[in-house]
Amino acid sequence: MTDAPELLLAHHLKTLRLLTFLREHDKQARICAAEGVDHVRYLARLTELELIDRERRMVERRIKSAKFPAVKSLDSFDFKAIPSLNKMMVLELARCEWIERQENVIALGPSGIGKTHVALGLGLAACQKGLPVAFVTAAALVSERLPAGAGSIIWRNVIPGTA
């Protein structure tokens, strides 16, 4: 014989797309019962787990959608290797307020100094803040936007990405 309330709960949670709730409710119920936690705290734990998991999945979707060639954070960037790079400015850019102000960031410099790593780090920071990101190298942008015989291009609101 099946447990009708359990099946009904599973059905409702699937319908509402509360997948973490569905996966964790029984485990959390046992933990809360052992700890003497009331039903409100039990529900609060489940909803917190659901929210954390949803945010994680949304960040993962934004990262996938950005089409980064690699996922790199600013935490792994060696600022000491490029002393001329203003670390505080880069960390300020990682707050992503420039995106909300609809400003652009352009990284210029010779090959191998970390422009792409910084761009990837800024893009990852934007994804984590809930902003949509499209990673495009300057070379790809030029070849995509420049029709044969065109003399000029205007770029607006390009999310981080350099050659």
| Fold observed for domain 74-145 | Rossmann fold (3.40.50)
Rounded average pLDDT over 65-73: 92
Q: Tens digits of per-residue pLDDT, 117-158?
A: 999 999 999 999 999 888 887 778 777 766 655 444 444 444
Percent of the chain scoring above 70 in pLDDT: 87
pLDDT of the residue at 162: 43
In angstroms, what is the C-alpha Rg of the chain?
23
For residues 8-36, average pLDDT: 94
N residues, the chain? 163
State the residue for tokens 């030029």: 142
Mean pLDDT of 14-42: 94
Total Cβ atoms within 10 A of residue 66: 22
Mean model confidence pLDDT for the chain? 86
Residue 35 to residue 10: CA distance in whole angstroms:
24
pLDDT at 2: 62
Start and end residues for every CATH 3.40.50.300 domain found in the chain:
74-145
How much is the pTM? 0.72
